Amino acid sequence: MACLGLPSLGDDVTPTDMKAFYIPKGYGLYIHPSTWHNAVYIHPQHAPAELFGRQGKVHARIGVNWVKEFNTLLRIPLNI
């Protein structure tokens, strides 16, 4: 699973702007520059997993702490 938010949100991203995506085993995910994203989450039945990552020369990161900034957690139902 990966949670992504539109780059057009700028610094005004909120938890409701995020959308979860299920990536089937054997497939990959490309995240366009400036796209809001959290870590990739692995279902325990598929762990441990090997992930291959590559990034550009510049990796400018802005973090969001959902609990501290919005007093909430993101919950993703795993009905897959």
Q: What is the pLDDT of residue 79?
A: 67
Block mean pLDDT (10 aa), the chain, length 80:
88 89 86 84 83 76 83 78
Q: What is the pLDDT of residue 78?
A: 73
Please name the residues in contact with 74: beta carbons below 8 A apart, sequence gap of 6 or more.
Answer: 3, 15, 18, 20, 38, 66
Q: What is the pLDDT of residue 80?
A: 58
pTM: 0.74
Two structure tokens written together for 30: 């490309």
Cis preceding-peptide flag for 24 (omega within 30 of 0):
no
Taking a C-beta distance cutoff of 8 angstroms, is the pair 20, 55 a contact? Answer: no
Please name the residues in contact with 62: beta carbons below 8 A apart, sequence gap of 6 or more.
Answer: 11
Question: Distance between CA 5 and CA 35 in Å, rounded?
Answer: 6
